[in-house]
Structures are given as structure tokens and as C-alpha cells.
Structure 1
Amino acid sequence: MGPNWLEVILRSIITLIVLFFLTKMLGRKQISQLSLFEYIIGIVVGGIAAEISTGVGQNFLNGMYSLLIWALIPVLLTYLSLKSKKVRDFLDGAPVVVIKDGKIQEDSLTKEKHTVDDLASLLRKKNAFNIADVEFAVLEPSGELNVLLKKEKQPITPKDIQLQVAPEKEPKTVISEGMILDEALGFTGYNRSWLKAELEKLNVALDNVFLGQVDAYGKLTVDIYDDKIQLPKSQERTLLLATLKKCQADLELFTLATKSKSASEMYQNNAQRLEK
């Protein structure tokens, strides 16, 4: 005779607790992108559901009780995690530093059941092929490794070379499935006449446009239904840059050619402004 409903509930709760601590002992290496309870629930719910569906269980109703408990407990624990950081750290774990100041933290690595080869593999996924290039690395509760490269190994940014760049804004979707979105088009500062003129430059009919977006520089980019059609690439910004460089070169030439000191300073100042 199968266990009564109260015994089923107690068995489910005890099993959940035991599996949780066993999974904790296994470390984050086994979890990948799943949280501890997602990892456990995925295995157990599948096993219970299989037993119920195949009729192996002695009592269908007891199986449903058990399935319900396994489904409700994670919901309750998620709610408690949102309310308490201590509960969240206990259930999901806290981030663990495995590289600090360029040095591997062997104790932390061993605690998380990771070898040096495992660490090297995770670093390669972050395009860090040389451990000596890493300043700081932290193993997240999900099992993912986040890496901070040493300053001299980080890519150069405009700020590093004191280059001022225009703020980047999100593109506006102005065409969707062949329909013009007037409200979004209004935010760009352009109108339908401009949009139709840009489509004519691309030699694309409005009905054939699946998606059309305008970026912060006023460039229209479209995705069309017929992927076999090759759209011409816009050269406007390239031509503009070439024109500015030519103007700068002309001003520098004028600086050398004039005999007037004031004119020479004017040409030089404007050449520097164009360079910026």
C-alpha cells in the first residue's frame, strides 16, 4: 500500500533538502547556467512525471501530491530570496573571486571543485588566453566566469586617447512590415518625403521593407522580405569624412602659403577645429 498524502509531502521535502546539500557539495561546475534549485527540479520533476505517466507508481494521487510539492517549494524559496539577501546567498550562493591582483586564488578554486584546466577553459571563453593578462576574475553563482583584464591588455577606448565622440542614441524603427510608423519617424526629425527619398536611393519599395530603422546620424537601414536582393551600401559618411579631411589639408596648405600672420593663425585654428 502506497504512503498517505502526509508521508508523501514529508518525503518530498526531505528529499529536496538532501538533494540541495548534495548539489552544494558538487560545486558550481555541475550547474552551468542553472541555479541550484533549477538543476535539482529539472531532474526530479522529470523523474516523478515519468513515473506517474508510465503507471509505475503505486498511487496516482500520491504522485500528484509529490509533483505539486516539488513545484510549489521553488516558488516559495524564490519569494523568500527576493525578501532576504541572506536566504538568497544561502540558496544561490555568493560570487567567488578566483583571480585577484593577477594571482590565482587556489583555495577558492579548490572549494568550487575547479581545476586550473577548468579555469583556463572558462577564461578562453572570455577571450583571455593568457592567465597573466587577467587582473581580476569572479565565479558567479550561475557558474559563469567574469573577467577584468589588466589595464594594458584592455582595448583602447575614445576616453583613453581623449577623443570626444557624439553620444550614441538608440535607432528608431520607422518602418514595420511595410507600414510607416509616423510617431517614431517624428522623433527622428524627418518626414515621409525624406523617408521615401531614402528608399528611392536604395531602390527599395516600401511594401518590400520588413523593418526600417533610422540611427542617430540620420542613416536609414532596412531589412527587406526578399533576402536575395543586394542593397547598395551607403557611402555618405565616408564621403563626408573624406571631404572634411580635404578641407583640413587645404587650410594647412593655406597656412604655409600666406604671408599674413593673422591669416595664418586663422587657417591653423580652423584646421585644428576640423581635425577635432
Structure 2
Amino acid sequence: MEEYFLIIIRTLFLYFLIIFIFRIMGKREIGELSILDLVVFIMIAEMAVMAIEQPKDPIIHTLLPMGVIVTIQIVFAWISLRSKPFRELLDGTPSVIIHKGKIDDKVMKKQRYNYDDLLLQLREKDIFNLADVEFAILEPSGKLSVLKKDDEEEASQSLTLPLILDGEVQTTHLDMIGKTAFWLRKELRDRGFKNIQEISFCSFQNGQFYVDEKNH
């Protein structure tokens, strides 16, 4: 009886502890989890199960590794906010699978992404003909973002595409709206932004620029 009571107490304690841990790790949809988040979630879940199944084992044997993992995740998240290369190393980068109606086989092979995967995700978006696709971007989360040919002009006016992230020009997004890096630099200089590296975020929508400079 005492063992059952201990199992119940541990279960409740770990339940609320894991909720607290996930809260401090930040808000993100399940489908948007990075590899790092997924590994942390799996390891914490496994530790919690072992702690419940072994009630005689000291709870510190579970809390200590949990604390180490959460600390690592928080430190990595902090570094990711300040380093784009480190963020790309952990989370990956979007891959353009279809560019201006042409499928990039090299990118597909690099991502171990086959035509069955592509056709399946297109069907999930009610697209049954590859010829209808102007751009298809495989996101780090595994989701496929699609821009149809008949929606290209409308989408270029309605979608917010970052042209600069953390001081780096996003050439893929410039290609999607039919602009060049030279055009972007000129437009920004005309608006008083001479150093692109000092810009944390820049987008172009409905003929208007939104520019956010880095805080110092």
C-alpha cells in the first residue's frame, strides 16, 4: 500500500514538474518542434517513466539529469537567439524544393526527400498537379510551404517574406518576389539604412518596407 501511495505522489509531482519544464522552455506548436526540443521531450518523458516504475530509487536520480538537460536546452536556446549559424546548426534551414516551377533534385537528395513525400504533402494542400506549383519550400519542421503559379502575384503582395534576418540578406525570398540584393540595398539606403548588418529583420509587403534594427 505504501508503495502504491509513493507511485501516486511521484506521478503527480512529475506531472506538474514536466508541465513547468515545458512552460519555461517556451511556447511552440508540436509540429514546429526542433530536433533539440524533440530530444529533450523524449528524454524527460523516459526519465519520468523510469522514476514512476522504480519508486524505491531516490527521486534525485531523476531530478538531477532533468535539470542538466533543461539547462542545456535553455543555454542552447539563448545562444540560438544571438547566433544565426548556431540556430541553423540546431534547427536546420528551409530548403527550396521547387523554384520557379522547376524541381531541384539535388536539394531533394540532400534532404532525403523523395517524390512520394512531395506528392503526398502537395495532395494534403489540395494540389494534384506539380505543374501548378511555382515555389515549394521544405521547412525545418518538415512542413511544406507552397506557392501556386496562379497565386504568385497575389501572394507576393499578401505574404510577409523576411528579406533580411540577423543582418543577412535572404536571397531565396528575394527571388520569390522577383527582386535582387542590389535593389534591396538601394531601397534601404534611400530610407536611411546604410548598414544591412545592423538590421535584425526586414520585410517587404504591399509596396511597404518594415525594418527593425538591432538593439545595442
Contact kept, 8 Å, 2:108 with 2:114, in 1: the verdict is yes
Task: Indicate the residue corresponding to 2:40 in structure 1.
Answer: 41
1:1-276 maps to which residues of 2 (within 5 A)?
32-55=31-54, 59-150=58-149, 153-154=150-151
Contact kept, 8 Å, 1:97 with 1:138, in 2: the verdict is yes
Deviations 1:153-196 (A, max 9, x none): 22896xx9xxxxxxxxxxxxxxxxxxxxxxxxxxxxxxxxxxxx
Counterpart Cα distance in 2 of 1:110 and 1:67: 37
Q: Which runs of 5+ in 2 are unaligned?
A: 1-29, 158-216
Task: Indicate the residue corresponding to 1:269 in structure 2.
Answer: none
Contact kept, 8 Å, 1:32 with 1:142, in 2: the verdict is yes
Query: Post-superposition, which runs of at least 4 consecutive aligned residues in structure 1 deviate over 6 A?
Result: none
Counterpart Cα distance in 1 of 2:115 and 2:152: 26
Structure 1 residues 136 and 155, CA gap change in structure 2 (3 angstroms): closer
* SS in structure 1 of the partner of residue 85 of structure 2: helix
Which shifted more, 123-132 or 53-62?
53-62
Structure 1 residues 155 and 115, CA gap change in structure 2 (3 angstroms): closer
Structure 2 residue identity aligned to 1:154: D
Structure 1 residues 110 and 156, CA gap change in structure 2 (3 angstroms): closer
Contact kept, 8 Å, 1:49 with 1:67, in 2: the verdict is no
Contact kept, 8 Å, 1:139 with 1:145, in 2: the verdict is yes
Per the TM alignment, residue 59 of structure 1 is displaced from its structure 2 partner at its CA by: 4.7
* SS in structure 2 of the partner of residue 154 of structure 1: helix
Counterpart Cα distance in 2 of 1:82 and 1:91: 12
Per the TM alignment, residue 35 of structure 1 is displaced from its structure 2 partner at its CA by: 1.1
Per the TM alignment, residue 90 of structure 1 is displaced from its structure 2 partner at its CA by: 0.7
Counterpart Cα distance in 2 of 1:126 and 1:32: 16
Q: Which runs of 5+ in 1 are unaligned?
A: 1-30, 161-276
* SS in structure 1 of the partner of residue 32 of structure 2: coil
Indicate the RMSD between aligned Cα atoms, in angstroms: 2.4
Contact kept, 8 Å, 2:31 with 2:141, in 1: the verdict is yes
Per the TM alignment, residue 62 of structure 1 is displaced from its structure 2 partner at its CA by: 2.6
Deviations 1:107-148 (A, max 9, x none): 211222222011011112223221111111111111111111
Structure 1 residue identity aligned to 2:151: Q
Deviations 1:33-83 (A, max 9, x none): 321112111211100111112217855323221111112211111111111
Give the TM-score normalised by structure 1.
Answer: 0.42
Structure 1 residues 46 and 100, CA gap change in structure 2 (3 angstroms): same
Counterpart Cα distance in 1 of 2:111 and 2:68: 30
Structure 1 residues 35 and 131, CA gap change in structure 2 (3 angstroms): same
Counterpart Cα distance in 2 of 1:115 and 1:56: 46
**Structure of greater Rg:** 1
* SS in structure 1 of the partner of residue 128 of structure 2: coil
Counterpart Cα distance in 2 of 1:98 and 1:32: 20
Counterpart Cα distance in 2 of 1:89 and 1:141: 9
Identity %: 35
